A and B are shown apart, each in its own frame.
Chain A
Amino acid sequence: AQKVTQAQTEISVVEKEDVTLDCVYETRDTTYYLFWYKQPPSGELVFLIRRNSFDEQNEISGRYSWNFQKSTSSFNFTITASQVVDSAVYFCALSEAQTSYDKVIFGPGTSLSVIP
């Protein structure tokens, strides 16, 4: 069973639209970490954010915001007023206490295209 699900395979939006990328995770641990990574067309993987399971506060960084809800096991990522530079594949990931946080489980990714 997939532990990190990103149901949206591909999303296209027009520049300046808002877009939300969904992430649903599955774990039996009470202590875990969630992450988002960005992979632009150039191919490198860039770390965006880490959130631990005890901190359900939403986070905002410029045009990016993250909504963590333990009740629905979701960690969604919203880009406000999207720009062409936001075009990338975005990965949600999970690290669990049961593996001593040694391993990170990645979702399949969501490919976002922002059209000018």
Chain B
Amino acid sequence: NAGVTQTPKFRVLKTGQSMTLLCAQDMNHEYMYWYRQDPGMGLRLIHYSVGAGITDQGEVPNGYNVSRSTTEDFPLRLLSAAPSQTSVYFCATKGWGASSYEQYFGPGTRLTVT
């Protein structure tokens, strides 16, 4: 039972390049989230999904795309990387129902855009 996995762990991009951050879960959770973490800012929600085929924007969606074709996977795409997207990215999941209000996080991806 791997929980929530993220790949890659680290990545350096040049401005203008594109890339996809992968997130996979084996917890059979309906909800999945992408956050970015910057110093002093806590965690800010980029996009989230309440189930396969359904996605919605969070607080800071600009420059990012997501899709959710399966329950297990929720990739985050950077279309044209900018230095402002240098951050640590966390994927999280949440179950559905009365006992599932907390989120479970992946180990994070540290992205640097030069």
Interface residues of A (CB under 8 A from B): 4, 9, 33, 35, 43-45, 47, 50, 52, 91, 95, 101-104, 106-109
Whether B88 pairs with A108 at a CB distance below 8 angstroms is no
**A103 with B101, Cβ < 8 A, contacts A44-B108, A109-B42 known:** no
Task: Report chain A residues within 8 Å CB of B103.
Answer: 47, 104
Whether A47 pairs with B102 at a CB distance below 8 angstroms is yes
Among candidates A45, A47, A102, A109, residue contacting B90 with C-beta atoms closer than 8 Å: A45
Task: Report chain A residues within 8 Å CB of B42.
Answer: 4, 91, 106-109
Q: How far is the CB of A96 from chain B (nearest CB, A)?
A: 11
Q: How far is the CB of A3 from chain B (nearest CB, A)?
A: 11
Determine the interface band of chain B, counting residues with CB < 8 A from chain A. 20 to 34
Complexed CA–CA distance, A102 and B47 (Å): 12
Taken residue by residue from 33 to 47, chain B's Cβ proximity to chain A (1 for < 8 Å, 0 otherwise) reads as 101000011111100
User: Does B105 interact with chain A (Cβ within 8 Å)?
Assistant: yes
Whether B50 pairs with A102 at a CB distance below 8 angstroms is yes
**A43 with B102, Cβ < 8 A, contacts A102-B50, A108-B40 known:** no
Whether B107 pairs with A44 at a CB distance below 8 angstroms is yes
Q: How far is the CB of B7 from chain A (nearest CB, A)?
A: 15
Interface residues of B (CB under 8 A from A): 31, 33, 35, 40-45, 48, 50, 58, 88, 90, 92, 101-105, 107-108
Whether A43 pairs with B50 at a CB distance below 8 angstroms is no
Task: Report chain A residues within 8 Å CB of B58.
Answer: 103
Whether B41 pairs with A44 at a CB distance below 8 angstroms is no
Among candidates A47, A91, A107, A108, residue contacting B104 with C-beta atoms closer than 8 Å: A47
> Nearest 10 CB-CB pairs, A to B?
A45-B105, A108-B42, A106-B43, A106-B42, A33-B101, A47-B102, A50-B102, A44-B107, A109-B42, A43-B108
Task: Write 7 A-B pairs (CB below 8 A) sorted by A numbering.
Answer: A47-B102, A47-B103, A52-B101, A102-B31, A103-B58, A106-B35, A106-B44
Residue of B nearest to A91 (CB): B42
Residue of A nearest to B44 (CB): A106
Q: How far is the CB of B29 from chain A (nearest CB, A)?
A: 13
